[in-house]
Structure 1
């Protein structure tokens, strides 16, 4: 983007103090004609840059002048001003910090570059959760974020399918996945305990995953903990997610999808699963329907998930999945064949 390139040019001139147009164009990967326009744009934006003709001439910044963005790259400067305050950072209690950073960057960028960055923000927006999937309410997210930052042990009440339990944890990090917050934590109880998807950090300590929306109470303790040596949240999450997916029993389910069913599949299943299955499928048949092999949970669960496609899908195999799909569809049809009871019409 031009705004990013202009800030990059500004930093190059600060570093080199002087360079020919050809040298600047080569460093930024643009033509010399484009570089002449960019130098003129910097000058119009209020940056004291001047050009000197001749064999040993070039583009220079006025001696002694520097921007106050020395600690930021061009990409960081424009992206920071353009991205607004993401909902996720606000939920973590960092919204004020991002707003303050915006104010500092806005105060140091020349007006024209600042306006260009703001135009970027008006044209690009990130909305992470999928369609028809709202972010979960995570009442205790802020408290857990404070404990993660301060490296303080927490005691939580956690809702599980078999009832509520209490856990003592060393909170190591928070991950936002498809609108759902997860806490990565090391059990602090002697011997550890079950509680979610688990993995091991490089030091051998068990780290488990807790869905933040299922935390019903949080108490931050005065006791601090030491983070496991070598623990990297992003790497651990990638390994843990892969292990969890491999732990699920998967069966191949062969289906036929109408053109509308093909378009709707990514919104019904995991987007990566759907994309991989559709990429491996052959071309549509003469009637427009496409045979697709999906790898899902057991046949009954698979049939339940595919019901969201309605009449746009036909389950071909395995027989148990086809029978479960047909049985559920039949019971739904029977229920809707009769007028609803009088008391349920309103």
Structure 2
């Protein structure tokens, strides 16, 4: 086709056609031009691009193709479906069959077993502000008093952790980015004020550092504990890692280890859940607290048993 016919077909100027042809040449597309009355531009026979027709939303959604739930939370569910369909169509038949087999054999489910998922109605708006670099005006609910506060936030990025969404954001004029749970945003307005994310900011590196600092602040104490083989397998997270690092096997088959704890209250509940598979040796106040709870439970269940027996005896008589 001649430049004039292409310009008419695409509703652009001939000059635009010349410019775009040069750009296609630079990108390696085999487009050739012949001069003369019967000349024009011609694409090499049989040439096909590897990927065609992806919209901007579909291209942005590619990294979420294995996470349909989070993609839907972000408002990108249809875009992810479209991107996956077009990617599949672009694959050679052999690879397409292999990809189909993979999708039937493997499934990624990010949230934990005991969480139904948070209600995050403002997540799409936060994601849009992250993408466009817009300041957010939010009403946010904190853990400490005053619980409900107004904040202006510059959202640097979003993180999905165990099925829960977090936004890493800085306050204008503040000391640096902090982490906010998206489900704790009570009210939100996307302002027209823009901001620039610092060039040296790395979201993944920031999140790793945040997690290290979080655990350092969370576990400020430790407990000396004996664990049965079954109790050892019931540990998770930081406790399981600490048991592996500090545990020593004793002659009776139990393991003695130093485990990190948040507080006496939290540790009391944590070790009580292990029942007879754990014995806390220290600190003394935690051991005394557990002993007191054990006595109360023993008396309660012994009393329940006597009451049930007495009730049964009266019915029989």
Is TM (by shorter chain) over 0.5?
yes
- Contact 2:139-2:186 within 8 A present in 1 as well: yes
1:100 corresponds to: 82
CA drift at 1:221: 1.3
Match for residue 268 of structure 2 among 303, 308, 314: 303
Q: Distance in 1 between matches of 2:49 and 2:156?
A: 34
Query: How far apart, CA to CA, are the structure 2 residues paired with 1:331 and 1:138?
Result: 42
1:219 is aligned to 189
269, 290, 315: which one pairs with 2:280?
Answer: 315
Against the structure 1 CA distance between its residues 101 and 186, is the aligned structure 2 distance closer, same or farther, given a 3 Å change threshold? same
- Provide the rounded CA distance (Å) in 1 between the counterparts of 2:136 and 2:272: 41
Query: How many residues align structurally?
Result: 252
Indicate conservation of the 8 Å contact 2:142/2:148, yes or no: yes
**Unaligned 5+ residue runs, structure 2?**
1-43, 53-61, 306-317
Q: Which runs of 5+ in 1 are unaligned?
A: 1-62, 72-79, 193-204, 341-346
SS class of match (2:167):
strand
Alignment of 1:80-95 (within 5 A): 84-95=66-77
Which deviations, in whole Å up to 9, do the C-alpha atoms of 1:184-237 show, x marking residues without a partner?
11113xx64xxxxxxxxxxxx411111122111111112222222321111111
Query: Of the candidates 130, 146, 156, which is equivalent to residue 138 of structure 2?
Result: 156
Structure 1 partner of 2:155: 171
**Structure-1 residue corresponding to 2:15:** none
Output the TM-score relative to the length of structure 1: 0.64
CA RMSD, Structure 1 to Structure 2 (Å): 2.9
CA contact (8 A) 1:81 1:117 kept: no
Q: What residue in structure 2 maps to residue 231 of structure 1?
A: 201
Please report how far the alpha carbon of residue 112 of structure 1 lies from its aligned counterpart in structure 2 after TM superposition. Answer: 3.0
Would the aligned equivalents of 1:81 and 1:102 in 2 still touch at CA under 8 Å?
no
Distance 1:330 1:67, change over 3 A: farther
Q: Indicate yes or no: 2:247 matched with 1:281.
A: yes
- Conserved 8 A contact 1:83-1:125: no
Give the Å deviation of 1:330: 3.4
1:229-265: per-residue Cα shift (whole Å, max 9, x none)? 3211111111222223223452221112222212211
| 1:288 positional shift | 3.3
Would the alpha carbon gap of residues 160 and 337 (structure 1) be closer, same or farther in structure 2, given more than 3 Å must change? Answer: farther
Kept in 1, the 8 Å contact 2:224–2:256? The answer is yes
Q: Structure 1 residues 147 and 336, CA, compared in 2 at 3 Å: closer, same or farther?
A: farther
Runs of 4+ in structure 1 over 6 Å off: none
Counterpart in the other structure of 1:69: 50
